[in-house]
Every structure is written in C-alpha cells, then in structure tokens.
Amino acid sequence: MKKLLYFCLAGLIFNGSSALAQGNVNVEEILKAGLNDLNTYMGYYVEPAAKGFIYSMGSGWSQTAKPHGVLGFDLKFAVSGAAVPSRYETFTFNPAEFEKIRVVGANGSPVQLPTLYGDPNTGGTLEIFDKETEMTLATADIPPGIDIPVKYVPAPLIQGAVGLPAGFEVIGRFIPKTTIEDTEVSQWGIGVKHDLKQYFEGINIIPVDFSVLVAYNSLDARYHIDEVQGQVASMNVETWTVQGLVSKKIAILTVYGAIGYNSGSSDYNMLGTYEINGTSESFTDPVKLNYEAKGAMGTLGARLKFGPIFLNGDYTFQEFNTVNIGLGVSIR
C-alpha cells in the first residue's frame, strides 16, 4: 500500500491534508533503499519548510519600541509568512550520497530535483536497486512540489503583552493544543522588552523610542498517520531572537524598525513501525530529521491605531524574508 509523506507537517497544518497529499511521496517504496537513503532524500525535500518555520515563527514580536506603561496591555492575532528563496525550490540529487537510489535516465550524473516547495508538475522516476546485482527492487515517482499559489511558509501567532515597572514589558504567545483533522498543534513563547531611552539623561529631546527585545518560541505538532498501528509524525520548532527596536509615533501612525539576530532549530520525526511492501521486513521510527537556521535580520513596519484597535504590518529581511500582518487591541 502506498504511503504519503505524512511527516511534512508544514503543508499539512496550514494547507490541509489535501496539500500534503499533493506531495505524493511513496515512502514505503523508498524504504526499500534503507533508512540512510530515505533520510537523505527527505532531508533535502523537507528543508525549505523546516527552515521556513524557524524564520516565520521568529518574527512579529513587536509593533512599537515603546513598552506599555504599568499594567497596560495588548492582545493580537497575527500571521507570518516566510518566503522560500528560489534556491530552496530544488536540490542537487548527487548519486554519491545515495546507496540504493538513482534517477532513471540520469546515467549516474547529478540532477536537480524539486523540494516540497518546488515545481508541482515535475515528472520522472526514482529507481531503488541492489548495489551488488544492479537488479531493480522498486520504482517510485519523483516527489513533486505541492501546488500552492505562493511559496511562503506560514505560521499563526496569538500574542499578548503586559507592561511592568521600570520600563519592562513581558510578551507571551500561546496556542492551546488544537486538533486540525488528524493533527494536534500547540505553541507557546515568551519575550521581554526593555526601554533603553530611560537611561540616557536628556535624550528625551530625541523624538523616537528605542528598546531591546529577547524572545523564545516553541511549536509542537503531531499527526496521527495510523492510530491502530501507532504511526505518528511529529514536528518541533524552537526559535530565539534578540533585537534592538526603534519607533516613532505620529498621531495614529507608528513607524518601527528592528535589527538583530534570529536562530532556531526544527525536528521532523516519523515514529512507529512501517512495513516494506512485498517483504516481511519493517522499520521502527524510520525518519529523524533536524535542521538549524540562524542569521542577522532587519525589520521595517508600520502600525495604525484607531482607539484601542490596531493593525500592523512589517517586512523582515533575512535568509527567508518574512511578512507579518497583525490585528489587535492595545490599552496603555
């Protein structure tokens, strides 16, 4: 029986199981090549989604450099989207990295194949073969990219903040465990913003606010492939960000910016026992992937505030440039 690439939760969580199905990855056939080949191939295939989540979740922490006054607060819902760079739409399939997989018709030469965010109309065939006898053990279609209108990795954010004494503000993110079809998703994060302008005597003549922000974010997801067989796909994403913030308020408009450094990691695991088609052989926990991303970032954005209601949007320049749009309530 043909299995799809269930562990690619990026497409599953936010685009629905139908988008995941578009990936059409025949894991059970590729398993005939062994765990090393499966993990190598899927490591390249999933990479843009895994790294994109790190960048999209690391953004959207602030829409002004000025912390709330004591017990002032805001609550917002936002969506971030990390743009997948074109270089992540394909990967180089190098036969030297694989023991039992080759691309039919490539004659042993490296070829460009699509990642999850690559061309959805790619054709071609993977051949799983015995290295000693050169006999074909199985074939599988080359996994195409998912068919989506824009190549962004989205992440939802529910965020609140409250002002504390001495120019501090605590920011929290929380999504309780939520079930989307067969997927469970939860998220939490915490950040601290601190006013720096207060420490410079006479600097109030400078008509801008500036502060520093440190924040951590974690997202966990589990997709039940087959509850009877105990087959589960899991994803965990953790991010850190350190930023210097500056903003200027003019009537209902606040213009803000940030420079800083983002880092994070994401793990994709396919857990449980999986049988190989046509054999009595099986593998337990066959896929374990880990990714890291880090680098400098810079953000430019604007907030419009109508009474307690605000709308903000910003753009972050980083390896995966990120757009963030938020709607919320703020009371200082």
Predicted TM-score of the model (pTM): 0.87
pLDDT in tens, 166-215: 999 999 999 888 887 778 889 999 999 999 998 887 676 778 999 999 99
Count of C-beta atoms within a 10 Å radius of residue 84: 25
pLDDT, residue 18, reads 35
pLDDT tens profile 269-293 = 888 888 777 777 788 888 899 999 9
How many residues in total does the chain contain?
Answer: 332
Instruction: Collect contacts of 232-235 with beta carbons under 8 A, ≥24 apart.
Output: 232/271, 232/272, 233/6, 233/7, 233/9, 233/268, 233/269, 233/270, 233/271, 234/7, 234/267, 234/268, 234/269, 234/271, 235/7, 235/9, 235/10, 235/53, 235/266, 235/267, 235/268, 235/269
The angle at the Cα of 295, spanning 77 to 167, to the nearest 5 degrees, equals 55
- What is the domain partition of the chain in residue ranges? 9-331
Alpha helix segments (H runs only) across the chain: 9-21, 27-30, 35-57
Q: Please write the tens of the pLDDT for every residue from 147-170.
A: 888 899 888 889 999 999 999 999
Distance separating alpha carbons of residues 270 and 231, to the nearest angstrom: 8
Check residue 61 and give its pLDDT.
96
What is the Cα–Cα distance from 161 to 79, expressed in whole angstroms? 17
Please provide the CATH number assigned to the domain covering 9-331: 2.40.160.20
Q: What pLDDT shows up at residue 25? A: 67
Q: What is the DSSP letter of 278?
A: T
Q: 68-112, pLDDT tens digit by residue? A: 999 999 999 999 999 999 999 999 999 999 999 999 999 889 999
Q: Has residue 58 got a pLDDT over 70?
A: yes
CA–CA separation, 268 and 10 (whole Å): 10
Q: Which helix (H) or strand (E) holds 325?
A: strand 322-331
- In 3D space, the residue among 66, 65, 61 whose CA is nearest the CA of residue 76 turns out to be 61
Q: Which residues pair with 243 in a beta bridge?
A: 213, 260
